[in-house]
């Protein structure tokens, strides 16, 4: 039925099967949309957030998807600026995943604010000293860049490409893509960093607060670094999941391994920096506020020292070692394990930098604040996942996302 | 965001921050104008030109 | 711009609360809520989502009888001046929409309700939990809207609010003084609602910079302390207590640390 839209030389599932798949994801999407509308019309009392937890699940999801979406800017940087040409075989997908992550992040922010209709105040009445202002500006601009990077792919659809204007537009955009990629890398550096700064500058919250250089706390650089390091792993993970679902090899192993190797070195260097930061914070910064390391990890039902071990050792050092060693990268199971751990790593980091910051008592006569999300929060957090599945499905079906697909899956 | 907003001040913070913003927006804007303009010119105004890509 | 207009010496309004006098009766909280049109819910048992600009904490020394001791600690917004009194209070610098401001003229941290879009970053920044979010639209019991103060705007759902040191009273006092041809206001012309409501006289309010105001001397007492001074938030609310454990409860200390 829709064969005229499907790229030449590749096989896609029958329309009914595709419709069924989209229907299933669409149902989840609708559930999320319903919860989103509840939050917009009834207010944030639909959530389990409270005055101790002004930031909760959504802000975590926001920070996590942006960190994972960092694969787009870093792969773009490697492909267009550093000149790693092999990565052209995965850049389309990295861009698409980034596009989904960033559009999701913007949507979550629009739900998260108490007065969504005043959302534009952050631009119009911008306080340039606030990390959140920097986040909003860079995020929106970079989302624009990602759209520009994604559009040429849409224009490559078989039918759209027939229109001479669109064909030429797509070609022109490809020609100067390096300029957009460079701008994107510049913007990404600042918004990934400013997201790190969000908790790093909170000098009233000793768990999140870090010293730094000039106006930027160390978390500014750590967030950028970890996003660049772990983002590509998320690109690899989603590629592997897509290959599993479609039952096809879509990207050659050497491309995956190249990206994994770079990612491995980035994670390795990041985790060294993270350990130094943690050590300095535990030895100098926190004690200056009268708190010792274990004050942050005891006397509560959830946050034990295990979470620090999970973040740094299990989801940091281990994947770094696997991805740096050639043997590790060549072993499919080890590679997969490392990629999964490297994806969990920044998620745990963002979790503690958002939720544990809120949970830790600062006044001596207050106790730990615990929180669990309401179903409306869970549904609106899953909403972007469903939206991502749908957008990936449509893109995969109708656009030449994987340049190597035809070569890897010759028609018999 | 604009000097017309009353909280705007001509100080270093605003010049650096907003300077960076407008710089990035200018590059993106000029880039897209070039792409769209060139495609428009080649398609509708310069019909004699042969498309030699692919 | 504003600084050029103001020829007067900058004021620094603040409070000194004598914890040894406070009985925890809660009159200050009630006065505050009535004065500032603070909304309430039918069920106020969940303290984490109800609005109390001024909240009284109950502190204990954790010792068994006969050494057990308690202390009530009223906590309004601390109107932090930040490091070096530059106005970089934890909340002001983080607000993305300039909806909260530090007045160099009065030292008061304001909240601009019509500007706030409810991102709650300021709440995350405040270690005193002095900022409250309007999770619901305010609903007043039938007829009660007639008792709302006309000097304070009510707030809508989805924005953050907090103690303003009854700033509207300062404005009224200034208006009156201007009308009477005076530039300065007297100490007793501008007092917060909680100060006037306290039956024990535990709360004293005034200009911390003005030697003629009571707070000027009180804050110099050896028994005076502020909450979380080590974080360098530089609050303008001082507490007094003759009890060592109460003063120590004001801040965090490492286990082996002597004050």
CATH code of C203's domain: 3.30.70.20
| Confidence (pLDDT) at B6 | 77
d(CA A271, CA A269): 6
Judgement on whether residues A354 and A386 belong to the same structural domain of the protein: no
- Pick among A124, A133, A169, A214 to test the B interface (most B CBs inside 10 A): A169
Residue C175 lies in a domain: yes
Local confidence pLDDT in tens for the 412 residues of chain A? 788 999 988 999 999 999 999 999 999 999 999 999 999 999 999 999 999 999 999 999 999 999 999 999 999 999 999 999 999 999 999 999 999 999 999 999 999 999 999 999 999 999 999 999 999 998 899 999 999 999 999 999 999 999 999 999 999 999 999 999 999 988 888 889 999 999 999 999 999 999 999 889 999 999 999 999 999 999 999 999 999 999 999 999 999 999 999 999 999 999 999 999 999 999 999 999 999 999 999 999 999 999 999 999 999 999 999 999 999 999 999 999 999 999 999 999 999 999 999 999 999 999 999 999 999 999 999 999 999 999 999 999 999 999 999 999 987 6
Residue C168 lies in a domain: yes
Kindly state the helix (H) or strand (E) to which residue A254 belongs, with its residue range.
helix A253-280
The total of structural domains in chain A comes to 2
**pLDDT per residue as tens digits for the range C90-113:** 999 999 999 999 999 999 999 999
Contact indicator for A243, A339 with CB cutoff of 8 Å? no
Judgement on whether residues A218 and A106 belong to the same structural domain of the protein: yes
Q: Which residues of A touch C252 (CB under 8 A)?
A: 206, 289-291, 295, 362, 364
| Confidence (pLDDT) at B5 | 80
Residue C4 lies in a domain: no
CB contact under 8 A, A186 and B24: yes
Quickly state the pLDDT bin for C86 (edges 50, 70, 90). confident
Residue C205 pLDDT greater than 90, yes or no: yes
Q: Which chain A residue shows the shortest CA-CA distance from B4?
A: A124
Q: Find residue C204's DSSP bridge partners.
A: C16
Residue C31 pLDDT greater than 80, yes or no: yes
Residue C116 lies in a domain: yes
Judgement on whether residues A218 and A326 belong to the same structural domain of the protein: yes
Which phi and psi angles does C29 have, rounded to 5°? -65, -45
Quickly state the pLDDT bin for B51 (edges 50, 70, 90). low
The residue with tokens 């109708």 is: A398
Q: Which chain C residue shows the shortest CA-CA distance from A45?
A: C135
Q: Per-residue pLDDT averaged across C63-89, rounded?
A: 93
| Confidence (pLDDT) at B50 | 56
Q: Hey, is the C-beta of A386 within 8 angstroms of any chain B C-beta?
A: no
Q: Hey, is the C-beta of A128 within 8 angstroms of any chain B C-beta?
A: yes
Contact indicator for A185, A76 with CB cutoff of 8 Å? yes
Judgement on whether residues A189 and A292 belong to the same structural domain of the protein: yes
Q: Which residues of C touch A53 (CB under 8 A)?
A: 48
Touching subunits for chain A (3+ Cβ pairs under 8 A): B, C
> Which residues 201-240 of C are in CB contact (within 8 Å) with A?
227-228, 230-233
Range of the domain at C78: 10-248
Quickly state the pLDDT bin for C3 (edges 50, 70, 90). very low
Query: Nearest C-alpha of chain B: how many angstroms from A376?
Result: 34
- Pick among A60, A113, A114, A197 to test the C interface (most C CBs inside 10 A): A114
Check residue B28 and give left, alpha or beta (phi > 0: left; psi -120 to 50: alpha): alpha
The total of structural domains in chain C comes to 1
- The CATH number of the domain where A298 resides is what? 1.20.1630.10
Kindly report the three-state secondary structure assignment for every residue of A280-329.
HHHHHHHHHCCCCHHHHCCCCCCCCCHHHHHHHHHHHHHHHHHHHCHHHH
ipTM: 0.93
Range of the domain at A37: 15-48+374-393
Check residue A247 and give left, alpha or beta (phi > 0: left; psi -120 to 50: alpha): left
Contact indicator for A115, C117 with CB cutoff of 8 Å? yes
Residue A285 lies in a domain: yes
Distances (CA, A) of A236 to A89, A163, A261, C115: 12, 33, 12, 43
CB contact under 8 A, A164 and B51: yes
d(CA C241, CA C190): 25
Residue A10 lies in a domain: no
A172, A180, A190: residue with CB nearest B39: A172
With CA atoms as reference, report the closest residue to A240 among A387, A338, A347.
A338
Length of chain A: 412
Judgement on whether residues A220 and A193 belong to the same structural domain of the protein: yes
Judgement on whether residues A32 and A137 belong to the same structural domain of the protein: no
Burial class (CB in 10 A: 0-12, 13-18, 19+), C181: exposed
d(CA C144, CA C162): 22
The residue with tokens 């035809």 is: A406
Residue C14 pLDDT greater than 90, yes or no: yes
Q: Which chain B residue shows the shortest CA-CA distance from A131?
A: B17
Q: Hey, is the C-beta of A179 within 8 angstroms of any chain B C-beta?
A: yes
Judgement on whether residues A65 and A34 belong to the same structural domain of the protein: no
B17, B35, B39: residue with CB nearest A176: B35
Q: Which residues of A touch B14 (CB under 8 A)?
A: 128
d(CA A261, CA A255): 10
Judgement on whether residues A250 and A317 belong to the same structural domain of the protein: yes
Contact indicator for C246, C71 with CB cutoff of 8 Å? yes
Q: Which residues of C touch A366 (CB under 8 A)?
A: 57, 129
Q: Hey, is the C-beta of A118 within 8 angstroms of any chain B C-beta?
A: no
C47 C-beta neighbours (distance < 10 Å), count: 12
B24, B32, B39: residue with CB nearest A165: B39
Residue C188 pLDDT greater than 60, yes or no: yes
CB contact under 8 A, A165 and B53: no
Q: What does pLDDT average to over chain C?
A: 93
Q: Which chain B residue shows the shortest CA-CA distance from A152?
A: B35
Query: Nearest C-alpha of chain C: how many angstroms from A99?
Result: 23
CB contact under 8 A, A168 and B1: no
Judgement on whether residues A320 and A383 belong to the same structural domain of the protein: no
Distances (CA, A) of A332 to A145, A239, C232: 34, 14, 52
CB contact under 8 A, C231 and A364: no
Q: Per-residue pLDDT averaged across C221-231, rounded?
A: 96
Kindly state the helix (H) or strand (E) to which residue A63 belongs, with its residue range.
helix A57-68
Contact indicator for B36, A169 with CB cutoff of 8 Å? yes
Q: Is the Cα torsion angle A104, A109, A115, A121 positive or negative in sign?
A: negative
Q: Which residues of A touch B44 (CB under 8 A)?
A: 165
Residue A404 lies in a domain: no
C59, C96, C159: residue with CB nearest A114: C159
Contact indicator for A135, A191 with CB cutoff of 8 Å? yes
C48, C129, C230: residue with CB nearest A290: C230
Query: Nearest C-alpha of chain A: how many angstroms from B49?
Result: 12
A121, A136, A363: residue with CB nearest C115: A121
Residue A411 lies in a domain: no
B25 C-beta neighbours (distance < 10 Å), count: 14
CB contact under 8 A, C125 and A204: yes
Kindly state the helix (H) or strand (E) to which residue C91 belongs, with its residue range.
helix C90-94
C94, C99, C252: residue with CB nearest A201: C94
Residue C1 lies in a domain: no
CB contact under 8 A, B32 and A126: no
A294 secondary structure, DSSP code:
G
CB contact under 8 A, A203 and C90: yes
Choose the weakest-confidence range: A105-114, C66-75, C78-87. Answer: C78-87
Judgement on whether residues A20 and A89 belong to the same structural domain of the protein: no
With CA atoms as reference, report the closest residue to A93 among A384, A320, A405.
A405
Q: Per-residue pLDDT averaged across C103-124, rounded?
A: 95
Q: Is the Cα torsion angle B28, B31, B37, B43 positive or negative in sign?
A: negative
Residue A412 lies in a domain: no
d(CA C126, CA A99): 34
Judgement on whether residues A282 and A327 belong to the same structural domain of the protein: yes
Residue C122 lies in a domain: yes
Kindly report the three-state secondary structure assignment for every residue of A49-62.
CCCCCCCCHHHHHH
Q: Hey, is the C-beta of B38 within 8 angstroms of any chain A C-beta?
A: yes
Q: Hey, is the C-beta of C70 within 8 angstroms of any chain A C-beta?
A: no
Residue C40 lies in a domain: yes
Q: Hey, is the C-beta of A214 within 8 angstroms of any chain B C-beta?
A: no
Q: Hey, is the C-beta of B9 within 8 angstroms of any chain A C-beta?
A: no
Q: How many CA atoms lie within 13 A of A151 on its CB side?
A: 20
Contact indicator for A106, A80 with CB cutoff of 8 Å? no
Judgement on whether residues A28 and A74 belong to the same structural domain of the protein: no
Residue C254 lies in a domain: no
């Amino acid at each position: 039925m829709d064969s005229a839209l499907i790229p030449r030389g590749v096989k896609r599932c029958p329309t009914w099967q595709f419709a069924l798949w989209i229907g299933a994801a669409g149902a989840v999407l609708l559930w999320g949309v319903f919860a989103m509308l509840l939050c917009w019309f009834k207010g944030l009392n639909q959530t389990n957030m409270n005055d101790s937890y002004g930031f909760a699940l959504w802000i975590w999801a926001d920070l996590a998807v942006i960190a994972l979406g960092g694969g787009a800017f870093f792969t773009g940087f490697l492909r267009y600026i550093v000149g790693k040409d092999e990565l052209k075989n995965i850049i389309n997908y990295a861009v698409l995943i980034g596009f989904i992550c960033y559009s999701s992040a913007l949507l979550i922010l629009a739900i998260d604010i108490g007065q969504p209709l005043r959302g534009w105040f952050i631009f119009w009445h911008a306080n340039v000293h606030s990390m959140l202002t920097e986040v909003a500006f860079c995020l929106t601009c970079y989302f624009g860049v990602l759209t520009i990077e994604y559009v040429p792919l849409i224009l490559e659809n078989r039918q759209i490409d027939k229109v001479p204007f669109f064909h030429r537009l797509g070609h022109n955009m490809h020609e100067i893509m390096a300029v957009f990629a460079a701008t994107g890398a510049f913007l990404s550096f600042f918004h990934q960093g400013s997201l790190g700064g969000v908790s790093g500058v909170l000098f009233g919250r000793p768990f999140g607060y870090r010293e730094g250089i000039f106006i930027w706390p160390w978390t500014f650089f750590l967030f950028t670094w970890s996003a660049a390091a772990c983002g590509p792993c998320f690109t690899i993970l989603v590629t592997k999941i897509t290959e599993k679902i479609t039952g096809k090899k879509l990207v050659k192993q050497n491309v995956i391994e190249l990206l994994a190797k770079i990612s491995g070195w980035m994670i390795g260097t990041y985790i060294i920096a993270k350990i130094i930061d943690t050590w300095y914070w535990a030895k100098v910064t926190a004690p200056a506020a009268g708190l010792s390391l274990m004050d942050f990890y005891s006397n509560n039902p959830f946050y034990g020292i295990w979470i620090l071990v999970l973040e740094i050792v299990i989801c940091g050092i281990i994947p770094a070692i696997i991805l740096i060693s050639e043997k590790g990268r060549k072993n499919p199971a080890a590679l997969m394990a490392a990629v999964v751990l490297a994806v969990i790593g920044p998620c745990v980091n963002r979790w503690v930098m958002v939720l544990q910051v809120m949970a830790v008592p600062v006044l001596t006569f207050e106790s730990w604040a615990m929180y669990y999300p309401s179903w409306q929060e869970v549904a609106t957090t899953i909403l972007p996942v469903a939206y991502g599945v749908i957008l990936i499905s449509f893109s995969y079906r109708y656009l030449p996302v994987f340049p190597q697909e035809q070569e890897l899956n010759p028609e018999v | 965001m604009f000097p017309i907003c009353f909280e705007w001040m001509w100080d270093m913070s605003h010049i650096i921050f907003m300077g960076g913003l407008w710089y990035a927006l200018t590059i993106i804007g000029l880039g897209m104008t070039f792409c769209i303009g060139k495609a428009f010119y080649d398609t509708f105004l310069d019909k004699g030109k042969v498309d030699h890509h692919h | 711009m504003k600084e050029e207009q103001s020829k007067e010496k900058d004021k620094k309004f603040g409070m000194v609360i004598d914890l040894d006098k406070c009985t925890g009766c809660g009159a200050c909280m009630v006065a505050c809520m009535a004065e500032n049109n603070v909304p309430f819910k039918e069920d106020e048992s969940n303290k984490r989502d109800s609005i109390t600009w001024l909240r009284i904490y109950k502190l204990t020394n954790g010792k068994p009888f006969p050494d057990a001791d308690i202390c009530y600690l009223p906590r309004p917004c601390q109107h932090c001046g930040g490091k070096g009194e530059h106005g970089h209070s934890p909340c002001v610098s983080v607000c993305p929409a300039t909806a909260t401001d530090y007045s160099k003229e009065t030292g008061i941290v304001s909240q601009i309700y019509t500007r706030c879009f409810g991102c709650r970053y300021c709440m995350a920044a405040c270690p005193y939990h002095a900022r409250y979010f309007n999770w619901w639209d305010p609903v007043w019991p039938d007829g009660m809207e007639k008792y709302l103060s006309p000097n304070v705007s009510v707030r809508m759902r989805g924005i953050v609010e907090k103690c303003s040191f009854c700033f509207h009273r300062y404005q009224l006092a200034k208006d009156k003084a201007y009308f009477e041809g005076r530039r300065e206001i007297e100490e007793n012309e501008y007092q917060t609602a909680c100060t006037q409501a306290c039956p024990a006289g535990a709360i004293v309010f005034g200009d911390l910079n003005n030697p003629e105001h009571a707070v000027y001397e009180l804050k110099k007492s050896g028994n005076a302390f502020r909450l979380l001074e080590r974080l360098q938030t530089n609050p303008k609310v001082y507490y007094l207590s003759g009890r060592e454990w109460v003063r120590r409860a004001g801040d965090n200390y490492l286990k082996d640390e002597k004050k």
